[in-house]
Amino acid sequence: MNDSISISNWEDLASVENDLSGTYTLVNNLTPDSIGYHEFVESTDNGWGPIGSIDNPFTGKINGNNHVISGLRIDHPNVGNLGLFNTVKNGQISDIIVESANISGGGPNIGVLVGKSINSVLTSNTIRNGTVMSNNPENGNNTGGLVGEIKNGQLKQTYVDATIHSARSRVGGIVGQNTGGEINTSFANVAVTAKESNHGGITGYSATKDSKIIDCGSVVLFNSIGPNTGGIAGVNDGKIIQCFAIGDAFTTHWNPGGIVAVHRPTSIIKNSYWEQTLAAEPAVRASRKGGGRIISVNKVTKSDILGSQAKKTLAGFDFANIWNTMERPDGYPKPKCLLP
């Protein structure tokens, strides 16, 4: 802690660019009233300038200490790798709460916290009332509520409440594309609007056999034109274990799925559950085409997993150590690590 550099305002946060390998700690909430907001966010044409770059990524550590960053704004119509951080490589970001962020760009790789995460560990980060938009129909892939793309590394103990829009593919409630990473004990409460393919409540595309999604849940409202929309992932090449998806609407286009739309030969879906309402196709299986293994995957009603009933319904879920039943605000179970 003694070697950590304190961040108390927007000016301090912007100065992280001067030492991308440093260790940092937020010591205050950052709001539109904090020092530096006008200079670094409000008065610039494109809003906040994301920290790092694909060629010079953030490689350090930052601990948010559960402080809130509010009013983050980014608007780069023709630029990708957008978020509070542009690119993080071999870094660590933890315990940051980002509230009322508005992120808009051309893509690829757009999220509230990080555009692209490579071999990094993102732990206990929260997005509240976020808006993420990828507006480039040519290059706007990989749009997520938290991160555009994770490549290897871990993302765990994450909560995302966001609205996500994309003119392109690979759109997820938490991560646009998961390439060999592990998403663990996380929850998404999101609305996803997408015009092309591969959309999921957790990730749009889980892209390799080493990609994992474990002990995650999603409550997702889809408004999608393109194919391959799934409650957890649009396309899955990896493992999905102990997850559930609740959906009030799915795409009316072809190939929707309660858990995934496409499960490839290398994929495994185990001990997972889904419920959904479809506008045009009421009979939806856990996956609609492909060749992976499906082990104990079941359709449920919303009432089956509300409150204490969840313990009886979600066989295979560890309610002693990982999951907790909930009565409020929505009644769906949550990972214990996300509770106050």
Give bridge partners of residue 132 from the DSSP assignment: 103, 164
SS3 readout for 247-264: EEECCCCCCEECCEEEEC
Residue 130 forms part of a structural domain: yes
Q: CB 151: neighbour CB atoms within 10 A?
A: 17
- Average predicted confidence (pLDDT) for the chain: 91
CB 156 within 8 A of CB 175: no
Query: Band of the pLDDT at 227, cuts 50, 70, 90?
Result: confident
C-alpha–C-alpha distance, residues 27 and 68, integer Å: 10
Whether 140 shows a pLDDT value over 90: the answer reads no
CB 216 within 8 A of CB 202: yes
Residue 329 forms part of a structural domain: yes
- CATH, residue 334: 2.160.20
Residue 44 forms part of a structural domain: yes
Whether 98 shows a pLDDT value over 80: the answer reads yes
**Sheet of 233-236, strand order:** 85-89, 114-118, 147-151, 175-179, 203-206, 233-236, 260-263, 289-290
pLDDT digit string, tens, across residues 238-291: 999 999 998 765 555 566 778 888 888 889 999 999 886 533 343 334 454 556
CB 73 within 8 A of CB 35: no
Q: How many domains does the chain have?
A: 1
Residue 250 forms part of a structural domain: no
C-alpha–C-alpha distance, residues 192 and 199, integer Å: 8
277 vs 59, more confident: 59
Residue 264 forms part of a structural domain: no
Structural tokens at position 258: 């309660």
Structural domain including 160 reads 5-226+294-338
Whether 92 shows a pLDDT value over 50: the answer reads yes
Give the pLDDT score at 281: 40
Structural tokens at position 151: 């490549």
pTM of the prediction?
Answer: 0.94
Structural tokens at position 321: 């150590």
Residue 269 forms part of a structural domain: no
CB 113 within 8 A of CB 84: yes
C-alpha–C-alpha distance, residues 205 and 194, integer Å: 14
CB 139 within 8 A of CB 80: yes
Query: Band of the pLDDT at 185, cuts 50, 70, 90?
Result: very high
Residue 236 forms part of a structural domain: no
Residue 271 forms part of a structural domain: no
Query: Band of the pLDDT at 23, cuts 50, 70, 90?
Result: very high
